[in-house]
Structure 1
Amino acid sequence: MKKVITTTLMMCSMAASALTPAPAAKPVDQVFINANIHVGNGEVLENAQFAISDGKISRAGYYRMALDGSEIDLKGQHIYPGFILASTNLGLTEVDSVKATIDATETGQLNPNVRALIAYNTDSERIPTMRFNGILLAQTTPSGGLVSGTSSVVQLDAWNWEDAVVKADDGLHINWPAEWSKRFDFSTFTMQLKKDDKYTEKTDQIKALLADARSTGHDNNVKLNAVKPVFSGQKKVFIHTNNPKSIIEAISHIKSMGIDDPVLVTGQAAGSVIEFLQEQQISVIINGTHALPQLSDDSIDERYSLPARLLQAGIQTALTYPGSMSSRNLAFAAGSTVAYGLSTEQALQMITGTAAQILGIDDQYGTLEVGKSATFFISQGDALDMRGNVVEQAYIDGRPVELHTRQQELYERYKEKYDQ
């Protein structure tokens, strides 16, 4: 009996320590001085004033105003807009190896009616690790099948998905297949180029779904009703594919259906179709820069330099990070592009201002401008460099976010072990 009681108490203690912090109650009013403000649109305001009130930014720049002594002197520290993690399974997946904790994928091939928002878990232990690295907003996105469902944009400090939502049902996500793709051949232990014999069948399913949704007379069909808003512009189409031929085919067909502004979520394949993307005026979300080149004759820095090449071509480009387990490294992935053609502020824009524009939330988020939401964080140094990304404070809609979580407790615990 004693062993049972002891074990129970230990489990309760572990569960308590694993609890995610409670969301902040209400916005605060605060003035910061001597701050380096990274606006998120390419502009930096050095040694400037920054103030928040009623959840909004009330001051960002240089003001000749009498101070009352209650302001916080940041002494040259940096203020950044909250980073935006696009196209992620954050809040939908907890432990990758435990199926019961994964709610990102639905069975079947065509699931446009699936809403990621209602499955979003605000108590996920992954969320606090994002906030500690400056990620304060995310586009929680379903995956799997040919049409995965509908994503939503959320802020990362809430009791439930109703409180978290920033923009509900912002986009429909389509996984356009590739006719030819590389697959691992266990007989030779090499990557082989294989043809998908069901390629035409799969693309025909997607095309038929779009065609049926555009027609009338399906008031009671939940799948078609979920697709219909893409034709009126109420919902964007996000095309996921990393094959040059599939990119051209998918975008050409989507635009032929009267959908003018699809968004491409891809990787290295975008580099082969830059002229096409430029001509079609397609916004692109690059899914990860920390990856090896796909082709043997590609440059080793193909992924690192791709964002700069897209930007130079005038293509609206944002960055994201694959999965969610390691996506707290989003800022460092953006920072890596600085050595391959981007300036620091251009790289920052790709995870703040530009990402907000692509997701349709730039009226309130993405840049630090007067009147917009006070969603930002304060870092000791350059937030795109892991040496400078030391987040001191973070605010979402003017509410101070708790940053000291289980991760920090574990760090402090084992740091003491080696200090002795």
Structure 2
Amino acid sequence: MNKKILTLFLALAASVSAFAQANISPAKAQSKKVILLGGVVHTGNGQVINNGYVVFEKGKITGVGDATTVRFAANDGEMINVNGKHIYPGFIAPVNTLGLVEYESIKATLDFQEIGNLNPHIRSIVAYNTDSKVPATLRTNGVLMAQIRPSGGAISGSSSIVQLDAWNWEDAAIKTDDGMHVSWPATPRFRGGFGGGRMGAFSPESLAERTQNAILELNSFFTEAKAYNEGAKPAETNTRFAAMAKLFKGEQKLYITANTQKDIVAAVNFAKKFNITPVIIGGSDAYLITDFLKQNNVPVIVKQPHALPNNIDDDVNMPYKNAAILYNAGVTVAVSIDDFWQQRNLPFMAGTVATWGLDKEKALQTITLNTAKILGVDKSVGSLEVGKDATLFVSTGDALDMKSNKIEKAFIQGRDINLDNLHKQLDKKFSDKYGIK
């Protein structure tokens, strides 16, 4: 009985919380030309224009350049003076469950994982919730796009890339089913301890054997799926094998989560067997094998620079340095965060990368153009260039610095979006209560 009462209480709490935030409707399509004039333009490709302009119309950028070399007529469009402010391309948050999770303590709001170990047929995009309150908190810090992916099992399913101001998942989608996600089987690390040299109920040998069996199962599935998709059309459809077709045709990327040096090498060699160049997610030890990654043209999406070292004898600051070491070695690298609710801190992770070995504009690329290249959407987003989507924002300060990041305006595909969110509403509510200005 108590359990039923608790469940009902949590459900009611969720309902009340859902109405705590004012309804924020997605912005309407851009109706007139917009000119951002006089700001510091960070193009996202390494270039900075100190007194620049950005012009966009019908959702696309039509001009970027030095404001001292052009003159705009007063009736040429909506002129927005951004002198002394900064213009950035919208940040992209890769590899997360944003919109698939709302309340971690309430099972009914968790929609990021399916039962089973091999689920390539799962599509995260159809479960993406555009009414989630979380994306609004990301927009406030300049994160305007995200890669939504499922998790769990050896093969989790397909991710998709969305913009964060939409009525439904169809409106949100920038690219659907961009990649298949695999978690490389990794043997738990044995640190010694009680139980006669055992880890719990398992010996190191039995754990290693279990990992090897998982790798064999993964290899067998890929082999059968490849044969299924390259052979004659079968009488009965195998939905799991059929879901791998785009991957083998090169129309979909393969994202493999792996962290140790040994696992990264094994994962890359596994993908090469099937003529696939993978993207490594995590890559805690990637800095140890930069030559291998570069030779194989393997990009890395580094997870959470604000973390503890992966190995007990690592430099304590290695998580901060990893992205810079990879970037400076010629590896295409992007930065991500694990938890869906922490995605708003993505720009500050890039700021940490800038402090530990990367030029500020190169660090910016790890959450803009580099990310767009890895995800395969760099032709439309990731930098401020003519012809690309007008997905960008204006900040009064450095957007990678927690102290000075203050987003005044943001546009997604040219639409002037609402930057309100539940955090701001609560801040105002209690600031008014205690007279805080």
Q: Is the 8 A contact 2:146 2:161 kept in 1?
A: yes
CA distance in structure 1 between the aligned counterparts of 2:53 and 2:289, rounded to whole angstroms: 44
Give the alignment of 1:16-55 within 5 angstroms.
16-28=19-31, 29-55=33-59
Question: Compared with structure 1, are the counterparts of its residues 117 and 183 closer, same or farther at alpha carbon in structure 2 (3 Å cutoff)?
Answer: farther
Provide the secondary structure at the position in 1 that maps to 2:397.
coil
Give me the identity figure in percent. 39
Residue 367 of structure 2 aligns with an amino acid whose one-letter code is: I
Residue 397 of structure 1 aligns with an amino acid whose one-letter code is: Q
CA distance in structure 2 between the aligned counterparts of 1:185 and 1:122, rounded to whole angstroms: 47
Give TM-score, length-normalised by structure 2: 0.89
Give the one of 407, 410, 413 matched to 2:423: 407
Q: Give the gaps of 5 or more residues in structure 2.
A: 1-12
1:204 partnered with 2:225: no
Residue 146 of structure 1 deviates from its aligned partner by: 0.3
Residue 395 of structure 1 aligns with an amino acid whose one-letter code is: F
Question: Compared with structure 1, are the counterparts of its residues 32 and 100 closer, same or farther at alpha carbon in structure 2 (3 Å cutoff)?
Answer: same
CA distance in structure 2 between the aligned counterparts of 1:336 and 1:142, rounded to whole angstroms: 27
Residue 296 of structure 1 deviates from its aligned partner by: 2.1
Q: Is the 8 A contact 1:138 1:153 kept in 2?
A: yes
Residue 23 of structure 1 aligns with an amino acid whose one-letter code is: P
Give the one of 341, 354, 365 matched to 1:338: 354
Q: Is the 8 A contact 2:283 2:300 kept in 1?
A: no
* Range with greater deviation from structure 2 (55-64 or 12-21): 12-21
Residue 86 of structure 2 aligns with an amino acid whose one-letter code is: H
1:271 partnered with 2:277: no
Give the one of 243, 254, 265 matched to 1:237: 254
Residue 247 of structure 1 aligns with an amino acid whose one-letter code is: I
Partner of 1:147: 155
CA distance in structure 2 between the aligned counterparts of 1:119 and 1:359, rounded to whole angstroms: 20
Partner of 2:384: 368
Q: Is the 8 A contact 2:60 2:387 kept in 1?
A: yes
Q: Deviations over 1:32-61 (max 9, x none)?
A: 111111100011111111111000111111
Give the alignment of 1:81-100 within 5 angstroms.
81-100=89-108
Give the one of 174, 187, 190 matched to 1:179: 187
Question: Compared with structure 1, are the counterparts of its residues 68 and 234 closer, same or farther at alpha carbon in structure 2 (3 Å cutoff)?
Answer: same
Provide the secondary structure at the position in 1 that maps to 2:311.
coil
Partner of 2:238: 221
Provide the secondary structure at the position in 2 that maps to 1:362.
coil
CA distance in structure 1 between the aligned counterparts of 2:312 and 2:361, rounded to whole angstroms: 32
CA distance in structure 2 between the aligned counterparts of 1:251 and 1:100, rounded to whole angstroms: 36
Provide the secondary structure at the position in 1 that maps to 2:341.
coil
CA distance in structure 2 between the aligned counterparts of 1:102 and 1:11, rounded to whole angstroms: 13
Provide the secondary structure at the position in 1 that maps to 2:389.
coil
Question: Compared with structure 1, are the counterparts of its residues 12 and 273 closer, same or farther at alpha carbon in structure 2 (3 Å cutoff)?
Answer: closer
CA distance in structure 2 between the aligned counterparts of 1:187 and 1:323, rounded to whole angstroms: 34
Give the one of 59, 64, 75 matched to 1:60: 64
Partner of 1:354: 370
Q: Is the 8 A contact 1:267 1:288 kept in 2?
A: no
Q: Is the 8 A contact 1:20 1:125 kept in 2?
A: no
Residue 100 of structure 1 aligns with an amino acid whose one-letter code is: A
* Range with greater deviation from structure 2 (215-224 or 238-247): 215-224
Q: Deviations over 1:372-419 (max 9, x none)?
A: 100001101100001121000111000011111222111111122332
CA distance in structure 1 between the aligned counterparts of 2:244 and 2:310, rounded to whole angstroms: 33
Q: Deviations over 1:81-134 (max 9, x none)?
A: 100000010011111222211111111000000000001011111110011111
Question: Compared with structure 1, are the counterparts of its residues 182 and 134 closer, same or farther at alpha carbon in structure 2 (3 Å cutoff)?
Answer: farther
Question: Compared with structure 1, are the counterparts of its residues 267 and 257 closer, same or farther at alpha carbon in structure 2 (3 Å cutoff)?
Answer: closer
Q: Is the 8 A contact 1:87 1:140 kept in 2?
A: yes
Provide the secondary structure at the position in 1 that maps to 2:220.
helix
Q: Is the 8 A contact 1:109 1:146 kept in 2?
A: yes
Give the alignment of 1:91-130 within 5 angstroms.
91-130=99-138
CA distance in structure 2 between the aligned counterparts of 1:240 and 1:16, rounded to whole angstroms: 37
Question: Compared with structure 1, are the counterparts of its residues 184 and 242 closer, same or farther at alpha carbon in structure 2 (3 Å cutoff)?
Answer: farther
Residue 13 of structure 1 deviates from its aligned partner by: 7.8
Give TM-score, length-normalised by structure 1: 0.92
Residue 279 of structure 1 deviates from its aligned partner by: 1.9
Q: Is the 8 A contact 1:92 1:120 kept in 2?
A: yes
Residue 204 of structure 1 deviates from its aligned partner by: 1.3
CA distance in structure 1 between the aligned counterparts of 2:145 and 2:296, rounded to whole angstroms: 28
1:254 partnered with 2:271: yes
Question: Compared with structure 1, are the counterparts of its residues 250 and 196 closer, same or farther at alpha carbon in structure 2 (3 Å cutoff)?
Answer: same
Q: Deviations over 1:187-210 (max 9, x none)?
A: 89xx99953441122111211111
Residue 267 of structure 1 deviates from its aligned partner by: 3.7
Residue 273 of structure 1 deviates from its aligned partner by: 2.2
**RMSD of equivalent CA atoms:** 2.3
Give the one of 298, 301, 310 matched to 2:317: 301
Residue 182 of structure 1 deviates from its aligned partner by: 5.5
Corresponding residue pairs, total: 409
Question: Compared with structure 1, are the counterparts of its residues 111 and 413 closer, same or farther at alpha carbon in structure 2 (3 Å cutoff)?
Answer: same
Provide the secondary structure at the position in 1 that maps to 2:186.
coil
CA distance in structure 1 between the aligned counterparts of 2:273 and 2:160, rounded to whole angstroms: 26
Q: Is the 8 A contact 1:213 1:224 kept in 2?
A: yes
Residue 11 of structure 1 deviates from its aligned partner by: 10
Residue 181 of structure 1 deviates from its aligned partner by: 2.6
Q: Is the 8 A contact 2:350 2:400 kept in 1?
A: yes
Residue 355 of structure 1 deviates from its aligned partner by: 0.3
